[in-house]
């Protein structure tokens, strides 16, 4: 094979790796190899090149993901630079339109537009009321899964995963991420809508607009426990009720909200 043909083929393979990480989120070299029909060793060569270019980063796999015995496999994920290699054909147009909207209608007009936009994305999701969320954590998980499906249909490549005593909604791609850097109202409207649909407070842990590898929203799940306040009486509470949030947790949550 001639050198320039080799360079083109390698570029195509690395683009395929980036596209796969976008679609599936953090993945091991073995998982990527299975999807591309390559050996894990062959994939690692491309991953090493992408890491050197700053497009991919490597880290230990999540402790909540079950794997076989032995050392945990490394998971690879896109950086903001890697995500920037994907086409964003309408970013300039969308940004210009949003700036014009702010000029004509002010911040309220931008917030109203952001709220309408996320309503269009998750409009078919069946909400969980706060009462349902308190007595049935599974209902919260079902709604979170519906939100992820709706986001994926709109190009956000989202999924859910159990983490500790909660579930996380992870958006591995954001088709408006570049615009959201200038207009955080888009992210704020998402968080507010998720809270309303899930019937419980949610916390944004990371956003692509802030340079993170994914938009991650943590949804705490109540853990029903039975307590006995008196003879012949039983009361169902949750772990969240049993222990009030510490001042440190409150500060962290406010910092996270401000950062978004």
Residues 191-205 pLDDT 10s: 999 999 999 999 999
8-state DSSP, 54: T
Q: Which of 55, 84, 113 is the last residue of a domain?
A: 84
Find, among 186, 149, 189, the residue nearest to 171 by Cα. 149
| Cβ–Cβ under 8 Å, residues 19 and 13 | no
**Long-range contacts made by residues 51-60, C-beta under 8 angstroms, separation at least 24?**
51/76, 53/81, 54/79, 54/81, 54/82, 55/18, 55/79, 55/81, 55/82, 55/85, 56/17, 56/18, 56/21, 56/82, 57/213, 59/26
pTM of the predicted protein model: 0.59
Whether 248 is in a domain gets the answer no
Question: Structural domain of residue 56, as residue ranges?
Answer: 3-84
CA-to-CA distance for 49 and 62, rounded, in angstroms?
Answer: 23
pLDDT of 61 reads: 59
CATH of the domain at 69: 1.10.10.10
Residue 115 and residue 131 share a domain:
yes
Give the whole-angstrom CA distance, residue 151 versus residue 159: 9
Number of structural domains found in the chain: 2
| Residues 106-138: tens digit of each pLDDT | 999 999 999 999 999 999 999 999 999 999 999
């Amino acid at each position: 094979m001639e050198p320039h043909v080799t360079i083109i083929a390698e570029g195509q393979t690395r683009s395929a790796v980036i596209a796969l990480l976008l679609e599936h989120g953090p993945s091991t070299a073995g998982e990527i190899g299975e999807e591309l029909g390559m050996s894990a060793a062959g994939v690692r060569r491309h991953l090493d090149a992408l890491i050197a270019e700053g497009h991919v980063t490597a880290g230990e796999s999540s402790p909540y993901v079950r794997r076989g015995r032995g050392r945990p496999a490394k998971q690879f994920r896109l950086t903001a630079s890697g995500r920037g290699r994907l086409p964003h054909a309408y970013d300039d147009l969308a940004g210009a339109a949003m700036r014009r909207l702010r000029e004509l209608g002010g911040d309220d007009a931008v917030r109203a537009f952001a709220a309408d936009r996320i309503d269009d994305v998750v409009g078919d999701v069946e909400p969980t009321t706060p009462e349902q969320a308190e007595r049935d954590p599974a209902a919260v998980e079902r709604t979170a899964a519906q939100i992820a499906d709706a986001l994926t249909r709109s190009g956000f490549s989202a999924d859910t995963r159990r983490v500790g005593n909660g579930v996380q909604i992870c958006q591995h791609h954001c088709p408006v991420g570049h615009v959201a850097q200038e207009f955080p109202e888009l992210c704020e409207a998402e968080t507010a809508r998720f809270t309303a649909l899930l019937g419980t407070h949610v916390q944004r842990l990371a956003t692509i607009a802030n340079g993170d590898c994914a938009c991650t929203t943590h949804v705490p799940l109540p853990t029903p426990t039975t307590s006995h306040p008196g003879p012949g009486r039983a009361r169902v509470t949750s772990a969240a009720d049993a222990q009030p949030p510490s001042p440190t947790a409150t500060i962290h949550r406010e910092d996270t909200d401000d950062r978004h």
